[in-house]
Amino acid sequence: MQLTTEQRDILALVRDFVDAEVAPYASEFDHRDEFPEEMVEKLKEMGLFGITIPEEYGGLGLDLLTYALVVKELSRGWISLSGVVNTHFMAAWMIEHFGTEEQRGKYLPRMATGELRSAYSMTEPHAGSDVQAIRTQAVLDGDSYVVNGQKMWVTNGLRAGMVMLLAVTNPAAEPRHRGMTAFIIEKEPGAHEQPGLTVPPQLQKLGYKGVESTELVFQDFRTPASSVLGGEDGVGRGFKYFLAAVELGRVNVASRALGLATAAFEAGIRYAQQRETFGQPISDHQAIQIKLAQMGTKIRAAELMVVDAARLKASGARADLEAGMAKLFATEVAQEATLEAMRIHGGYGYSKEFVVERLYRDSPLLILGEGTNEIQQLLIARRLIEQHKV
């Protein structure tokens, strides 16, 4: 893959940071389910919260491919760290592309430095893949909207100072998605209670620890009418805005899966050369070699798909098919690679002393996030049928 000097430099910077300050400590933070404050501060120093935000707003102004490769490197160290950046990145992209000039000027400079971090809130207890089933409502009352409802699985939901929220503003709209609006909700970072908004204790998870996943409970929460993404013209367009960001998010998830699979492969091939059985390294055994060959080949294929989807999306072209395929394939590869790495480690792979047990617990998140892989296959099939219509 041909990269510019700038891309190579920033990837080298991130890679060195991950090798020195993330990978050696990630499992300790995971086992304690502890938020990595010092790592996040380092992300701020490197400018990674503003990696794709235009330079005029204080960001680095880099392209989506560079971001995807940075996410791969972060995830190679710990996918929870990339999760701190992920929803923030999606929110910044939405404001840049759909926000008013006033909204861009108000939020993007503070988002670029990481001073203001964002969450992204679409899923509800009864509405995951079926986004049009959401029930959270925002009712216009004078110069503000009153929000009532409940959101689930909000990454960074507690620590974030703002939330991109999808809510129903016209329940009678047909089709229903035309009655949905996106809001930029400002909140008090770290507060479990504030007027109209409760953030319950974080959800307990199998993996993806260290970064909080929360509920958000809105009860007569007031937000200014000016918080509608895109201003008055944005009313009723929230579904479109959010799905555009989800397409972007699928490239992100595929990149995270690529990083996770790479970490599993590196752990597996390193252990295979160190561990001996019957007087020789297990890397000399054909059964292990076949595992390594399949892991390496599939990871390389996933990388090419991620690069293709990122470049296409960055060009402004429609990329839902490519992003969906990359997300589907890379996340399945990650799940397979983490299990194979565990098998290569044998009994030690089940021990918390080795990294592969954490990688194995983290991998299922990716086949579920940004649309389950079952739903993803249906979307891919529809696009293929559309392209090959007879």
Q: What is the DSSP string of 23-80?
A: TTTHHHHHHHT---HHHHHHHHHTTGGGSSS-GGGTS----HHHHHHHHHHHHHH-HH
> Radius of gyration (Cα) for the chain, nearest Å?
21
Q: Is 21 exposed, middle or buried (0-12, 13-18, 19+ CB in 10 A)?
A: middle
In the numeric block, which tokens belong to residue 129?
């893949």
Distance of CA 365 to the CA centre of its chain: 10
Residue 372, Cβ neighbours under 10 Å: how many? Answer: 15
Spatial separation of the C-alpha atoms in residues 202 and 34, rounded to whole Å:
12
The catalytic site residues sit at: 370
From 205, 228, 210, 243, select the one nearest 365 (Cα to Cα): 205
221 strand-pairing partners? 147
